[in-house]
Amino acid sequence: MAWVDLCLTVVNDLTIESRQGRPVADDAGLGEAFADLAANVLTRRFELSSAHVDDLASVARRLHLAVEACIAGDLLTAAFALNTVLAEFGAVPNLHAAPGQAPHLAFHAADAPIVDAWAAESATALAFLVGTRQTHRLGQCSADACDAFYLDSTKNASRRFCSLACQNRAKSSAYRQKRRDQPR
Ligand SMILES: [Zn+2]
């Protein structure tokens, strides 16, 4: 599920309006997306350039729509959005093999550029959730002023917040609300 996490990380960096109580600025989001891709073990061997910027943001918006459709239970829309991304970015099962290393199953060509690799792997990972009836594990943060998506890996699918920070914010705002409602 590492690719679902990386997909949601970049979608959150680039396509949502507020995160953890703060508005997300476009430029800052792009910087974060590149930092996240550069730091991730799945993608850090790729060269990142500013030429990829627009492509990355436009794929992220399409994957955002697919994630939203999954959460809304509209799997037909999700399937259509994912199929077009899979086809357009050349998603293909491929054994990345090198001498002295165990071959590794990927869903992008070994020489794919970073945006294509991220798009193909992200769409494949989401398609896997759709095809194996696991889309209930995708969620969107319930805290105020946060639109972040997350993958719920708890056993009973009980997660409601993107992060501990949002969970704590929601808890203290519920507490303040309770104090306000109490008669003095
Ligand atoms: Zn949140």
For 146-165, the pLDDT digits (tens) are: 999 999 998 888 999 999 99
Alpha helix locations (H) across 73-163?
75-88, 114-131
Distance in Å, CA 64 to ligand 1 centroid: 16
Q: What is the pLDDT of residues 80-139, one digit of tens each?
A: 999 999 999 999 999 999 899 999 999 999 899 899 999 999 999 999 999 999 999 999
Q: Distance, CA 43 to ligand 1 centroid (Å)? A: 25
- Rounded mean pLDDT of the chain? 92
- What are the structural domain ranges in the chain? 2-181
CATH architecture of 2-181: Orthogonal Bundle (1.10)
User: To the nearest 10°, the Cα dihedral for 119, 25, 17, 179?
Assistant: 140
What is the C-alpha separation between 64 and 135, in angstroms, rounded?
Answer: 14
Nearest of 58, 130, 117, 61 to residue 86 by alpha carbon: 117
What's the one-letter identity of residue 8? L
- Cα(74) to centroid of ligand 1, in Å? 23
- Could you give the percent of the chain with pLDDT greater than 70? 99
The tens digit of pLDDT for each residue in 18-39 reads 999 998 877 778 888 888 988 8
Ligand 1 center from residue 88 Cα (angstroms): 31
Residue 184's pLDDT band (cuts 50, 70, 90): low
> Coil, helix or strand for 151?
strand
Which three-class secondary structure state does DSSP give residue 134?
coil
Distance CA 170, CA 27 (A): 27
| Separation CA 21–CA 124 (nearest Å) | 31
Q: Which amino acid is at 16?
A: I
Q: Residue 156 C-alpha to ligand 1 middle, in angstroms?
A: 20
Q: What separation in Å is there between the alpha carbon of 172 and the centre of ligand 1?
A: 14
- Taking the CA atoms of 126, 33, 15 and 118 in sequence, report the sign of the dihedral they define: negative
Q: Where is 105: in which H helix or E strand?
A: strand 104-106
| pLDDT (average), residues 54-67 | 94
- Which residues have C-beta under 5 Å from ligand 1, the single-atom ion? 141, 143, 146, 148, 162, 166
Cα–Cα distance for residue pair 117/106, rounded to 1 Å: 9
Contact indicator for 64, 11 with CB cutoff of 8 Å = yes
Distance from the CA of 149 to the center of ligand 1, in angstroms? Answer: 8
CA distances from 150 to 87, 114, 174 (A): 25, 22, 22
**Cα 55 to ligand 1 centroid, rounded to whole Å:** 26
- Ligand 1 centroid distance, CA of 143 (Å): 6
Of all residues in the chain, what percent carry a pLDDT higher than 90?
67
- Spatial separation of the C-alpha atoms in residues 63 and 69, rounded to whole Å: 10
Q: How far is the CA of 126 from the centre of ligand 1 (A)?
A: 21
Ligand 1 centre distance from Cα of residue 109 (Å):
34
Find, among 95, 108, 118, the residue nearest to 11 by Cα: 118
